[in-house]
Amino acid sequence: MNPTDIRNPDYFHRVVDCQWACPAHTPVPEYIRLIAAGRYADAYMVNWRSNVFPGILGRTCDRPCEPACRRGRVEQGNQPTPEPVAICRLKRVAADLKGDVRARMPSRPRRPNGKRVACVGAGPASLTVARDLAPLGYQVSVFDGDPRAGGMIRSQIPRFRLPESVIDEEVGYVLDLGVEFRPGHRIDSLRRFLAQGWDAVFIGSGAPRGRDLDIPGREECAAHIHVGIDWLASVSFGHTTRIDKRVIVLGGGNTAMDCCRTARRIGGEDVKVIVRSGFDDMKASPWEKEDALHEGIPILNNLVPKRFEHRDGKLIGMSFQPVHAIFDDSGRRQLVPSGEPDRYFECDEVLIAVGQENAFPWIEADCGIDFDRHGMPVLDAVTLQSSVPHVLFGGDAAFGPKNIIWAVAHGHEAAVSIDKLLSGEDPRERPAPAVSLVSQKMGIHEWSYDNDIDPDARHKVPWREANEALASIRVEVEIGFDTATAYREAQRCLNCDVQTVFADKLCIECDACADICPMDCLSFVANGDEADLRGRLRAPAHNTAQALYVSAALKTSRVMVKDEDLCLHCGLCAERCPTGAWDMQRFLLDVTHAGPGCRKSPERVAA
Amino acid sequence: MTYLAKPLMHHPSLPRNSLGYTRRDYEGKISTLCAGCGHDSISAAIIQACWELAIEPHRVAKLSGIGCSSKTPDYLLGNSHGFNSVHGRMPSVATGANLANRDLIYLGISGDGDSASIGFGQFSHLMRRGVNMTYVVENNGVYGLTKGQFSATADSGSKSKYGGVNRDAPIDLASIAFQLGATYIARGFSGDKEQLVPLIMGALTHPGAALLDVVSPCVAFNNHLGSTKSYDYVREHNEALNRLDFITGRAPIEARYAPGETHEVDLHDGSRLRLVKLDAAYDPTDRVAAQRHLLARQRSGEVVTGLLFLDPEPEDLHRHLNTVATPLFALGEDELCPGAEALARINARLR
Ligand SMILES: Cc1cc2nc3c(=O)[nH]c(=O)nc-3n(C[C@H](O)[C@H](O)[C@H](O)COP(=O)(O)OP(=O)(O)OC[C@H]3O[C@@H](n4cnc5c(N)ncnc54)[C@H](O)[C@@H]3O)c2cc1C
Ligand SMILES: Cc1ncc(C[n+]2csc(CCOP(=O)(O)OP(=O)(O)O)c2C)c(N)n1
Ligand code: SF4
Ligand code: SF4
Ligand code: SF4
Ligand SMILES: [Mg+2]
């Protein structure tokens, strides 16, 4: 292999698995160390800069970082149930304990720059655009048909997962930057809206339509059948306060989990979830399923809804056909009847949570915005511009329903595009991230990070007693870590951003680093191609998603090869190296947001 | 040195030997030696060899004298017996222990100062008595622990870190071991574990006195230009006579080295040593010829490594003395102290 080019910012960025996996590239280990140090407000601001909604995300994020977290891999074979660091819930700790951070927020610009930007929808995507652009002097107006800002964060996510005060606070930080919010203002014609002469329009209108289920009995029982997301919104805004005792929730995604848990709190006594797929194939995150089961809600699998049964115009139950999944050669799943007799369940009400769709009835065909055959806008995947360059899309409206953190990531990118576009630059030329790489050495064997490896298993977030939690829809179920547990959990982080940096010129090939490395990451071997090398190292490097760090040829003509996969970042290699050929250096990558940094495209190279 | 304990976490694919132990189970405390010390590499090689041989840790007794090298038994085999004796006196402790209990595996770890300077006499007598043990000399040419004075193995003409030149003739412990009847003699280099690990395995299973002279650079005091025990010097002058594969009954035979003329030696315990000759003229079972060959090549400045000598039919101390096979601790009081009558009989025989 050729020597690894560590000057490419992507190389070390990928080593920080969590940050790489985070759509907004939040510098996770950086804020986790700040939490361990008790610097909660600093930890909060690191998050706020990257993901805008730390308190909200610390409770609700889909957390793509956690399955990516190295800790989950290194605990394999070392812990009965390997688990990643509780990255998401540590974020909540920062939000809970930060105190008053208002003074740290950006100030409103002294002078507007005269450019007007409109955001359609007040969800996380639009609010991110607003937050990035308003401090730069843009005049940002955010329109939403709903009475309050937040989008689905406010209308869909139930209060027992996310208290309203947290939404108010974090949405408030954005609106307080001088953003104009126009509540109850639904845009019903894009053509007319564009005619108002906005310099740029960002469409963050979400994926607002819940899929329905067209099976016999649907019309007859309409009064007792609800589309999940509409029903949740109605509960959130206080229009619906009750449900009958026996409830069936159809669907296996997170919306279904929110529906059943909400129903359980507002009158549902016999609530069950019935899903077409098997338990493991359900779309809901494992923790969402766990939470529902924990509240005594059964999940019945492999049942396809067949009919709503009714008597005298009233819903009395539902029948289902039992199925099992078979997979064809291309791995596609097909549900085939299992041959067992149909099953029937009595119920009073049904909530349909079988998916969500985009809908743009308010965008006229002659506006110049191209849509594909699925009805989705045709976008530049990088700039998020539509076929009308100053109209951009982001969040669920761009590529279909995803989640909050993706909406935020889109918001940042769209803000960069708008800023460049309105500064007369090409939005396709994207700014490089700001990167620094700094040695953490303080003394012979002292580092400015805690390199001792904590053996603890993942700490559980405490839950409120089930009775108490089920008593009201407003009681938050999770209590959050206390400071002591937060510290212990933070110590599980391996500091993957503190990189092992190798200087081949200094190495005398004494083997000390390879001998001391607890994970057998390091090998001195004859060079070869990647597949060959991966099989010839001290420990096989089968995880090809993780890089090999290869040096130039050393004196004996061998090369140093490090398998990044399971490195603990313990620094023992560097402590053991007689010549300082290894050093532990903190890699900090900040995604460049809208602002002067994204415009001048300054030359930035790794230090 | 490192202050942290080495994390217990290990690679999930770390293999287990027939006893169910991983290599990590053969480790000891974290080393306190200077970073990059050759001795630490030798410790790692010993750990690897013991793991590969699936030695039960409680059957090993580690013995040492004084010196950086003599500290290393603490850094390996944390579940074995150990005795850290006084400077140069490891051989007498080893001899005594072996006499008392021949069932243990004796692993002596010493330095060139400990064995060629203050302990030279003890070293010699252990070898000539044929104590069944593995005697590792971690040879760096200096007294590392006392900050780098020349030891008795320093080559004539080599320079100290502070510029002084050694004019005295060096003691070559391997040559001495030849003369004194050692039955397994090998030389390795701490920087070449592929060669070293099988040499250690061969020594550990050899039922006689086995000397392993391992050149082991002292990074702090003897790794400079002008030293003949530095990483660079040894790499440049290292001439391997052969490559050794240690073949236990269970392990499949795999060729680790480039092919050459091979020579296999069956051992008493059913395992086999396979030598790939790199120097066709060298016969490691001919004590006289081997010695002559070695001397000639060393004279020309080579650091000759590999299996230097092997007597496939070794004898040891117990055979010489015709001692009882049972370890002394397992004998009863009556057998150990047969009483006045027995003493009288013995005395009568001597009159
Ligand atoms: C039940 C449920 C639970 C969820 N839970 C989570 C979770 O725990 N974690 C997570 O990360 N994600 C979750 N999601 C997904 C998440 O809410 C969305 O992915 C995210 O809110 C999308 O953000 P957005 O900015 O694209 O749009 P949205 O949040 O959907 O906001 C769009 C806004 O635009 C407004 N709007 C639409 N059309 C117009 C118009 N023409 N004029 C004016 N206003 C308009 C809407 O009223 C809405 O307020 C959940 C979704 C659902 C349905
Ligand atoms: C009786 C006695 N004399 C002198 C010393 C001082 N001393 C300690 S270690 C040492 C030399 C050790 O050299 P070596 O065996 O080569 O070990 P190294 O540190 O080089 O590995 C000496 C002379 C001592 N500890 N005891
Ligand atoms: S251990 Fe820490 S830095 Fe590494 S991936 Fe997990 S959270 Fe990120
Ligand atoms: S930091 Fe160095 S010693 Fe520690 S696990 Fe990583 S490579 Fe091994
Ligand atoms: S410890 Fe340092 S000098 Fe020794 S092999 Fe490793 S990198 Fe090279
Ligand atoms: Mg020495």
Q: pLDDT tens across A55-77, in order?
A: 999 999 999 999 999 999 999 99
Sheet with A498-502: list strands edge to edge.
A434-439, A582-590, A498-502
pTM above threshold 0.95: no
Task: Tell me the pLDDT tens digit for each residue of A73-131.
Answer: 999 999 999 999 999 999 999 999 999 999 999 998 889 999 999 999 999 999 999 99
CA distance A538 to chain B (A): 10
Say yes or no to pLDDT of B110 above 70. yes
- Residues A385 and A203: their CA atoms lie apart, in Å, by 10
Residues ≥6 apart with Cβ < 8 Å to A67: A21, A84
Q: In degrees rounded to 5, what are phi and psi of residue B15?
A: -75, 160
Local confidence band at B259 (pLDDT 50, 70, 90 cut-offs): low
| B235 within domain boundaries | yes
Structure confidence by residue, pLDDT tens digits, A256-282: 999 999 999 999 999 999 999 999 999
Phi, psi of B127 (to 5 degrees): -65, -45
User: What pLDDT sits at residue A607?
Assistant: 36
C-alpha closest to that of B305 among B174, B198, B186: B186
Residue B82 forms beta bridges with which residues?
A: B62
pLDDT of residue B260: 64
CATH code of the domain made up of A9-104+455-491: 1.10.1060
Which among B1, B8, B13 is the nearest to A539, CB-wise? Answer: B13
Quick check: B252 pLDDT over 70?
A: no
C-alpha to C-alpha distance for A407 and A126, rounded to whole angstroms: 8
Digit-coded pLDDT (tens) for A326-361:
888 888 888 899 999 999 999 999 999 999 999 999
How far, in Å, CA of B8 to CA of A598, rounded? 45
Under 8 Å CB-to-CB from A332, ≥6 apart: which residues? Answer: none
The answer, yes or no, to whether residue B264 has pLDDT greater than 80, is: no
CA distance A457 to A83: 7
pLDDT at B253: 45
Question: Cα of B55 to ligand 5 centre, how many Å?
Answer: 30
Q: Which domain holds residue B124?
A: 23-316
Identify which of A522, A524, A577 to mutate to test ligand 5's pocket (most ligand atoms within 8 A of the CB): A577
Q: What is the pLDDT of residues A210-268, one digit of tens each?
A: 999 999 999 999 999 999 999 999 999 999 999 999 999 999 999 999 999 999 999 99
DSSP for A83-121 reads ----HHHHHHHHHHH----GGGSPPPPSS--S-EEEEES
* pLDDT tens for each residue of A299-335: 999 999 999 999 988 999 999 999 998 888 888 888 8
A167 membership: H or E segment, kind and range: helix A164-175
Q: Which atom of ligand 2 is nearest to the CA of B39?
A: 21
pLDDT-based confidence at residue B273 (cuts at 50, 70, 90): confident
Residue A126: strand, helix, or coil: helix
Give the CA angle between residues A316, A322, A323 to the nearest 5°.
145
B310 found inside a domain: yes
Contact yes or no for B36 and A579 at CB 8 A = yes
Interface predicted TM-score (ipTM): 0.90
Task: Decide if B32 touches A, using CB distance below 8 A.
Answer: no
Q: In CATH terms, are A116-208+358-422 and A210-357 the same topology?
A: yes
- Put simply, whether B20 touches A (Cβ < 8 Å) is no
- What is residue B257's predicted lDDT score, i.e. its pLDDT? 47
What radius of gyration do chain B's Cα atoms show? 21
In chain A, domain spans? 9-104+455-491, 116-208+358-422, 210-357, 498-590
A-side interface with B, Cβ within 8 Å? Answer: 74-78, 445, 451-453, 455, 508-512, 515-516, 518-520, 539-540, 542, 555-556, 566, 568, 570, 572, 575-579
CB spacing of B4 vs A572 below 8 angstroms:
yes
Name the CATH topology of A498-590. Alpha-Beta Plaits (3.30.70)
* d(C-alpha A99, C-alpha A80), whole Å: 37
For A355, other C-beta atoms within 10 Å of its C-beta total 18
| Average pLDDT for A502-528 | 97
- Which among B3, B11, B41 has CB closest to A445? B3
At residue A38, does pLDDT exceed 50? yes
For ligand 2, atom 4, name the residue with the nearest CA.
Answer: B87
Whether residue B255 is predicted with pLDDT greater than 60 in this model: the reply is no
C-beta of A342 in contact with ligand 5 (< 6 A)? no
Ligand at minimal distance from the CA of B36 is 5
The residue with tokens 């083997």 is A511
- Residue A383 above 90 pLDDT? yes
What CATH fold (topology level) applies to the domain A210-357? FAD/NAD(P)-binding domain (3.50.50)
Confidence bin at A440 (pLDDT 50/70/90): very high
Dist. CA B46 → ligand 6 center (Å) = 18
> Distance (Å, rounded) from C-alpha A491 to C-alpha A497?
14
Give the minimum alpha-carbon distance from A588 to chain B in angstroms, rounded to a whole number. 26
> B 41-100 residues with CB below 8 A of A?
41, 43-44
Total count of domains within chain B: 1
**Other CB atoms within 10 Å distance of the CB of residue A111:** 6
- CB contact B37 to A (< 8 Å): yes
pLDDT digits (tens, 9 = 90+) for B281-338: 888 999 999 999 989 988 888 999 999 999 989 999 999 999 999 999 999 999 999 8
Q: Whose CA is nearest to atom 18 of ligand 1?
A: A403
Do the domain assignments include residue B7? Answer: no
| Residue A600 pLDDT > 90 | no
Instruction: Tell me, yes or no, whether B297 lies in a domain.
Output: yes
Contact between chains at B37 and A520 (C-beta distance less than 8 A):
no
Answer whether residue B268 is part of any domain.
yes
**Bridge-partner residues for B135, per DSSP?**
B108, B211
Given a cut of 60, is residue A176 above it in pLDDT?
yes
- State the smallest CA–CA distance between residue B150 and chain A in angstroms: 22
Those residues whose C-beta lies under 8 Å from the C-beta of residue A149, and which sit 6 or more positions away, are A122, A127, A142, A171, A175, A181, A183
| Spatial CA neighbour of A516 closest among B14, B229, B10 | B10
Is residue B288 one of the residues assigned to a domain?
Answer: yes
State the smallest CA–CA distance between residue B24 and chain A in angstroms.
8
In a domain, B351, yes or no: no
**d(C-alpha A343, C-alpha A340), whole Å:** 9
- Alpha-carbon distances of A553 from A507, B56, B67, B230, rounded to whole Å: 11, 40, 35, 20
Beta strands in A19-111 (DSSP E): none
Return d(Cα B134, Cα B186) in angstroms, integer.
11
User: Top-level CATH class of A116-208+358-422?
Assistant: alpha beta
pLDDT category, A604, cuts 50, 70, 90?
A: very low
DSSP string for residues in A443-489: ETTEESS--SPP-PPPPPPPB--HHHHHH-TTS-SB----HHHHHHH
Spatial distance between the Cα atoms of B67 and B39, rounded to a whole number of angstroms: 11
- The residue of chain B nearest to residue A581, with distances taken between CA atoms, is B36
Identify which of A451, A511, A542 has the shortest CB distance to residue B193: A511
Specify the higher pLDDT residue, B246 or A10. A10
Q: What is the CATH number of the domain that holds B210?
A: 3.40.50.970
| Residue A330 phi, psi (nearest 5) | -85, 10
**Amino acid identity, position A508:** I
